[in-house]
Amino acid sequence: MLNEKLKQYHIILASGSPRRQQFFKELGLDFEVRLKSVKEEYPNRLTHFEISDYLAQLKSLPFKENLKDNEILITSDTIVWHNNKALGKPINEEDAFNMIKSLSNSTHEVITSVCFTTKTHQKTVNAVTKVTFKNLEDEEIQYYVDICMPLDKAGAYGIQEWIGQIGITKIEGSYFNVVGLPTHLVYKTLNSLVSS
């Protein structure tokens, strides 16, 4: 349906995440994956969604000069916001264990920003989902880190994996946002871009 509206456009997804790529397929979109590495650093003054907005926009910079008239570049970034601090991807297994331990028996926010860039415009949207974990035993956390190796995930966990199945007691907002992409916002924004 949306794909029909987008037939004049070429969608570029700048993400190596298999989860995000799968979501685009499930939305019925034709797209190309293009990857360029960016150092994911942000100014200390930024907080909350400002961080993920900034990083999503930063990831678009290496592509901007070469975008063609009919191309829509999509970049995104996810962070976990907990105790007024952003949790990105863990650097090793110990870091992953400590991150999950800090989320145990509390509620945190998962924030994903998605940036849509064309040759002449840029629009950034974001979604915030609140996630509550039960009190996790150290053995449960270690088991999860050992079997799932969640080093590629913000906050060191995947809601769709074992730890989410046994540990998450409440979620407020988009589930798909926590997996890594607020699909409802992608659909809505792409619709508005081609309708405007």
The residues that bridge with 73 in the sheet, in sequence order, are 12, 117
Distance CA 186, CA 183 (A): 5
Residue 146: active-site member: no
Check 30, 53, 69, 77 and give the catalytic one: 77
Question: How is residue 71 written in tokens?
Answer: 């191309």
Is residue 38 classed as helix, strand or coil in its secondary structure? coil
Q: Which residue has the tokens 């871009």?
A: 193
**CA 105, CA 133: separation in Å to the nearest integer?**
5
Paired strand residues for 87: 80
How many other CB atoms sit within 10 Å of the CB of residue 87? 22
Helix, strand, coil % (nearest 5) of the chain?
A: 40, 25, 35
Alpha-carbon torsion (196, 75, 123, 28), positive or negative: positive
Active centre residues (catalytic): 77
